[in-house]
Amino acid sequence: MAASRTPAGSVTIQDVAREAGVSRAAVSKVIRNAYGVSPAMRERVNAAIKKLGYRPSVSARGMRGATYTLGIELPEFANSFFTRLIAGATTAVADSPYQLVIAPADQTHQEGYRAIQALVDRQVDGVIAVSPMVESAWLEEIAASTPVVMLGRHDASDRYDTVVNDDAAGARLAMRHLLELGHRDIAHLTSIPEKAVIDPGVPQVIRLETYRAAMEEAGLGSRMRVVGVGVGEAAAHRAALAMLGDPEPPTAVFASHDEPALGVLRAVADAGLTTGDVSVVGYDDIEIAGHPGISLTTVNQDGERLGALAARLLLERIAGRTEPRHEVIEPELVVRSSTRPPRPSATSARLRALGDR
Amino acid sequence: MAASRTPAGSVTIQDVAREAGVSRAAVSKVIRNAYGVSPAMRERVNAAIKKLGYRPSVSARGMRGATYTLGIELPEFANSFFTRLIAGATTAVADSPYQLVIAPADQTHQEGYRAIQALVDRQVDGVIAVSPMVESAWLEEIAASTPVVMLGRHDASDRYDTVVNDDAAGARLAMRHLLELGHRDIAHLTSIPEKAVIDPGVPQVIRLETYRAAMEEAGLGSRMRVVGVGVGEAAAHRAALAMLGDPEPPTAVFASHDEPALGVLRAVADAGLTTGDVSVVGYDDIEIAGHPGISLTTVNQDGERLGALAARLLLERIAGRTEPRHEVIEPELVVRSSTRPPRPSATSARLRALGDR
DNA sequence: CACAACTTGTAGACCGATCTACAAGAGGAG
DNA sequence: CTCCTCTTGTAGATCGGTCTACAAGTTGTG
């Protein structure tokens, strides 16, 4: 009952060959721009292709040659930073014969593996992956047969390429900004779940370590406060509300990403406070951060540039490059109105009152 | 020099057959859960599969059978409504053997065709598409060989399924809300570009027509004001700024999507006004709309539900259903603080002054 | 005990491309 | 004119699965 998968309309290379009066091999040569084709034959074949509306089967191609498909594994779509990557990659491959295909991976731990494997199973010619959580050894195994570019990984393997922004530098910018404004009670809200075991080299970990180092350097080691929430705005909102209810709440929060930073902003508003009371810094510079209603100070890592660069590296690998490349992009601090100098006395009094009730 | 595409590690069905001491056909049966397999053989084969780490090649499978791949064509990632669809579809196929794969299509006109075609070329078992712009006739041709579910299309074909929200009802909710607040000068900002020729049946068109009808019904036909901007927040921002500079600016703006509504909000802030001066209503209820800094009144069309429903319909089609199904989801108005009663005298005076300078 | 019906596994064609090896013909050199 | 090289096109193996047809064995029935 199910419709036939190859209906009458489906035209194969054989049909084109018959129409043009040549062999299958000849048609194959023409569509691949291979050597050994006379202009006359090329023309006849192209005419036949056009006339019949022929489209090569990617599956059949994949069995021997290339699929002209690049796979991107993405762990999250809610965070618009990730979607910027796609925009960058899309434009980078726009006038290549390659088609981009995205495999969504849920936040859960195993999903990164599943999605990348699914792409490899589908014979993509190369993979760009954004899961910082998968093991390096496993990736190297994949990379042995399929070119791989990893985004946001600081562990430099010589089997795959990496593109990262300098998370240490970015986090330093954020912390210096808060310290220069005069903040001393600076909390860090990280997307690393409490008590999770995680590779070092993951952006969040580097941002966390940089926070710690900056606090120590400033002689504020005793005032460090790190809250590990998972992924998502909602979790950050809850954690921030709890934090603001503390007897001694922080005067500034540095969040590991913009998304949780939005949650903090929401919590600040919910608590009847403003960013004059509690400064907030994010990381990513997602689109909405610049909106006047949000106006979040954050660290910009140019997502489109990262995505485009990753795509270019992947194309180079496919073209034959084997020496690894590891690109680092410099982040920039974007100061908006979510960060202000602290109001020491008034604020702490007011917040203490809030904590008491 | 390029790495071999099928390295030493690549294990085929033949290897598994040898390891288990059975035929290729037997292994094939086991992995497809086909009839005619004894428990003993199943066990041996599964053990061999596990031992060798065998993964079936999707390309090879695609040549005869299924690829267990569902394709989603998406025109936009910046708009988080679209990404919600993915979340819904992902959960809907989570415990099916199918893998979701997304093909990005740029905003430009031809891109929808290109992306859908790319998916079909890759032998996906079914397609969910969100491009309202592609021609129905072309889609029906595609649908003849590959099951298709269209999102956000009101033209009910009997060759493919559709899932839409009731755009007319949603737009009516928005308009009624503004009218009940007392607004009379209501402008409509639509993502339809000026002077574009577009299928009726496209959500934006239906929202536009509903706006017109509501204005006429309320006796405000002469006060209709429609501005066609393209896609994107920035374009809406520019258009809104121009509109607010008018001698007689509107007291409320109904935008065809949340994204341009954000642009209007930004323009309102830039002009030194608030939503007390100019009310704004969007459509989609994207995540950020609920944030206190934005607090946009909008029409919620449950993206996740739409996506999940589309995926379910697609799975049904793949399973053999041939009668078309056309699902309509009822939207809901979400009132937040971006809509307030108009301030007739003060506002117009102030705005007029603004227009004069 | 003969024959039917069912179960279990295999052989081999097939899907639609790519790609190697080679044949036929054209042009050039000596 | 012969031999060599280069160009142009073809035949046919090959990729890794699926699936049909069938053989062999097992169980049931009258």
Q: Does residue B80 sit in the same domain as residue B50? A: no
CATH number of the domain at B253, please: 3.40.50.2300
Select from A104, A145, A31, A322 the least CA-distant residue to B128. A104
Q: What is the mean pLDDT of chain B?
A: 91
Beta bridge partners of B103: B73
Residue A8 to residue B145: CA distance in whole angstroms: 9
Torsion of CA B308, B309, B311, B314, to 10 degrees: 180
Q: Does residue A345 sit in the same domain as residue A312? A: no
B274 touches strand D (CB under 7 A): no
Put simply, the answer to whether A103 touches B106 (Cβ < 8 Å) is no
Pairing of strands B99-104, B225-228: unpaired
Q: Does residue B224 sit in the same domain as residue B174? A: yes
Poorest-confidence range of A154-158, B40-44, B86-90?
A154-158
Percent over 70 (pLDDT), chain B = 93
With cut-offs at 50, 70 and 90, classify the pLDDT of residue B284: very high
A9 vs B128, residue with greater confidence? B128
pLDDT of residue B351: 54
- CA-nearest residue to A107 within chain B is B87
For residue A5, give the nucleotide whose C1' atom is nearest its CA.
C15
Instruction: Print the domain residue range for A36.
Output: 8-55
Q: Give the type of residue at B56.
A: P
- CA-nearest residue to B93 within chain A is A104
A345: which residues sit within 8 A by CB, 6+ positions away?
A: none
pLDDT in tens, B118-152: 999 999 999 999 988 888 999 999 999 999 999 99
pLDDT in tens, A265-293: 999 999 999 999 999 999 999 999 999 99
Q: Answer whether A187's CB lies under 8 Å from A254's CB.
A: yes
Q: Taking the CB of residue A257, how many other CB atoms lie within 10 A of it?
A: 26
Q: Does residue B292 sit in the same domain as residue B307? A: no
Q: What positions of strand C are covered by protein, i.e. any atom < 7 Å from a CB?
A: 7-12, 14-21
Å: B262 CA to C3 C1': 81
Residue A317 to residue A199: CA distance in whole angstroms: 26
Residue A355 to residue B312: CA distance in whole angstroms: 48
Residues of B with Cβ-Cβ distance to A139 under 8 angstroms: none
Which 3-state string (H, E, C) describes B123-156?
A: CCCEEEECCCCCCHHHHHHHHHHCCEEEECCCCC
Please report, for residues A221, B185, B255, the alpha-carbon distance to residue B221 in angstroms, rounded to integers and kept in the order given: 67, 10, 18
A176 min Cα distance to partner chain B (Å): 26
pLDDT of residue B345: 54
Q: Last residue of a domain, which of A19, A37, A55?
A: A55
Query: What mean pLDDT comes out for the span A212-235?
Result: 95
Q: Answer whether B91's CB lies under 8 Å from B121's CB.
A: no
Torsion of CA A212, A217, A220, A226, to 10 degrees: -10
Is residue A107 domain-resident? Answer: yes
Is residue B1 domain-resident? Answer: no
Q: Does residue A194 sit in the same domain as residue A230? A: yes
Residue B257 to residue B204: CA distance in whole angstroms: 8
Residue A111 to residue A64: CA distance in whole angstroms: 29
Is residue A3 domain-resident? Answer: no
Query: What mean pLDDT comes out for the span B194-211?
Result: 85
Put simply, the answer to whether B59 touches A60 (Cβ < 8 Å) is yes
Query: What mean pLDDT comes out for the span A214-230?
Result: 96
Label residue A346 exposed, middle or buried (CB < 10 Å: 0-12, 13-18, 19+): exposed
B83 min Cα distance to partner chain A (Å): 6
Q: Phi/psi at B300 (nearest 5 deg)?
A: -85, 120
Residues of A with Cβ-Cβ distance to B236 under 8 angstroms: none
Q: Does residue B149 sit in the same domain as residue B103? A: yes
A7-29 CB burial, b ≥16 within 10 A, e <16: eeeebbbebbbebbebeeebbbb
Is residue B21 domain-resident? Answer: yes
pLDDT of residue A354 exceeding 60, the answer is no
A25 touches strand D (CB under 7 A): yes
Residue B201 to residue A296: CA distance in whole angstroms: 39
Å: A321 CA to D4 C1': 38
Q: Phi/psi at B180 (nearest 5 deg)?
A: -65, -30
For residue A36, give the nucleotide whose C1' atom is nearest its CA.
D8
Is residue A60 domain-resident? Answer: no
Residues of B with Cβ-Cβ distance to A294 under 8 angstroms: 288, 291, 293-294
Q: What positions of strand D are covered by protein, i.e. any atom < 7 Å from a CB?
A: 7-12, 14-21
pLDDT in tens, A297-327: 999 999 999 999 999 999 999 999 999 999 9
Poorest-confidence range of A177-191, A237-251, B299-313, B334-348?
B334-348
CATH number of the domain at A44, please: 1.10.260.40
Q: Does residue A287 sit in the same domain as residue A222? A: yes
Residue A123 to residue A138: CA distance in whole angstroms: 17
Residue A199 to residue B308: CA distance in whole angstroms: 34
Number of structural domains in chain A: 3
Cβ within 7 Å of strand D: which of A 48-67?
Answer: 60, 63-64
pLDDT in tens, B215-267: 999 999 999 999 999 888 999 999 999 999 999 999 999 999 999 999 999 99
Query: What mean pLDDT comes out for the span A32-47?
Result: 94
Select from B158, B76, B143 the least CA-distant residue to B111. B76
pLDDT of residue A357 exceeding 80, the answer is no
Put simply, the answer to whether A291 touches B293 (Cβ < 8 Å) is yes
Q: Answer whether A295's CB lies under 8 Å from A333's CB.
A: no
pLDDT of residue B155: 87
A275 min Cα distance to partner chain B (Å): 12
Q: How far is CA B187 from the centre of its chain?
A: 25
Is residue B272 domain-resident? Answer: yes
pLDDT of residue A8 exceeding 50, the answer is no
Residue A30 to residue A35: CA distance in whole angstroms: 9
B12 touches strand D (CB under 7 A): yes
Please report, for residues A71, A147, A322, the alpha-carbon distance to residue B2 in angstroms, rounded to integers and kept in the order given: 19, 10, 8
Please report, for residues A191, B189, B215, the alpha-carbon distance to residue B224 in angstroms, rounded to integers and kept in the order given: 48, 11, 7
Put simply, the answer to whether B266 touches A86 (Cβ < 8 Å) is no
Instruction: Say which of A5, A59, A144 has its CB closest to residue B59.
Output: A59
Pairing of strands B99-104, A332-334: unpaired
Q: Does residue A144 sit in the same domain as residue A243? A: no
A300 min Cα distance to partner chain B (Å): 17
Label residue B110 exposed, middle or buried (CB < 10 Å: 0-12, 13-18, 19+): exposed
Å: B41 CA to C6 C1': 18
Length of chain A: 357
Residues of A with Cβ-Cβ distance to B104 under 8 angstroms: 86, 90, 100, 102
Query: What mean pLDDT comes out for the span B31-52?
Result: 95
Cite residues whose beta carbon is less than 7 Å from strand C.
A 6, 10, 12-14, 24-25, 28, 31-32, 34, 54-57, 60-61, 63-65; B 22-26, 29, 35-38, 40-41, 60, 63-64
Put simply, the answer to whether B86 touches A103 (Cβ < 8 Å) is no
Helical H runs in A78-150?
80-92, 111-121, 136-145
Nearest residue: Cα versus C1' of D7: A36
Strands (DSSP E) contained in A111-256 are 126-129, 148-151, 161-165, 186-190, 225-228, 252-255
A227 vs A202, residue with greater confidence? A227
Q: Does residue A91 sit in the same domain as residue A215? A: no
Q: Does residue B204 sit in the same domain as residue B348? A: yes
Tell me the two tokens of residue A226: 């790190």
pLDDT of residue A7: 42
- CA-nearest residue to A1 within chain B is B320
Q: Does residue B347 sit in the same domain as residue B207? A: yes
For residue A45, the number of C-alpha atoms closer than 13 Å in the C-beta half-sphere is 22
User: What would you report as the CA-atom Rg of chain A, rounded to the nearest whole angstrom?
Assistant: 26
Residue A283 to residue A296: CA distance in whole angstroms: 10
Put simply, the answer to whether B270 touches A292 (Cβ < 8 Å) is yes
Query: What mean pLDDT comes out for the span A107-126?
Result: 91
Instruction: Say which of B4, B9, B320 has its CB closest to residue A1.
Output: B320
Q: Does residue B284 sit in the same domain as residue B310? A: no
Residue B178 to residue B174: CA distance in whole angstroms: 6
Read off the DSSP letter of residue A2. P
